[in-house]
Amino acid sequence: MPVRDAVFEDVEEICTLIEEHAVYEDKHDLKLDRAEMSGHLFGPEPKAWVLICTPPGRPDLVAGFAFCSWNFSTWEGRPGIWLDDLFIRPEHRRHGLGRELLDALRARTTGRVEWDMQAGNAKAEAFYAQLGAEPVPGWVRYRWRP
């Protein structure tokens, strides 16, 4: 199976994937601190976790990732997963890797798997609809920064 949990040695690749995704979304100035990210993912109190996908038959290559953290729904009374970032490198798309990452997340919780999507991303909308995922009507996301 081409999906696995990230390990400490993947930090450089994870940061590179995030930066590549930022460029893909036309944000060219994102540069992450590898040591800080390493602490967030693999330190004594991890704040997030990552799944890595590899192309079929090529476990030596990283094709993409899902960057996640746990959440909890008081109304459902169970934990779920917050998918902060899903990115497959363009040359590895259309091979089912995004679906494999999301299936792996779905298998890790009986709760909700939730994420945000940038408005107007028709390709992503079609992909998520194909999974059976749907937008949440009546909810607006707020963000409060320091």
Active-site entry in 8, 15, 128, 132: 128
In a 3-state reduction of DSSP, which class is residue 3? Answer: strand
H and E: helices and strands count for the chain = 4, 5
**Contact between residue 63 and residue 88 where contact means Cβ atoms under 8 Å apart:** yes
Using alpha carbons only, give the angle 77, 80, 84 rounded to the nearest 5 degrees.
145
Please identify which residue in the block is written with the tokens 């999974």.
Answer: 131
Residues belonging to the chain: 146
Is residue 24 part of the annotated active site? The answer reads: no
Residues annotated as catalytic (active site), given as ranges: 128
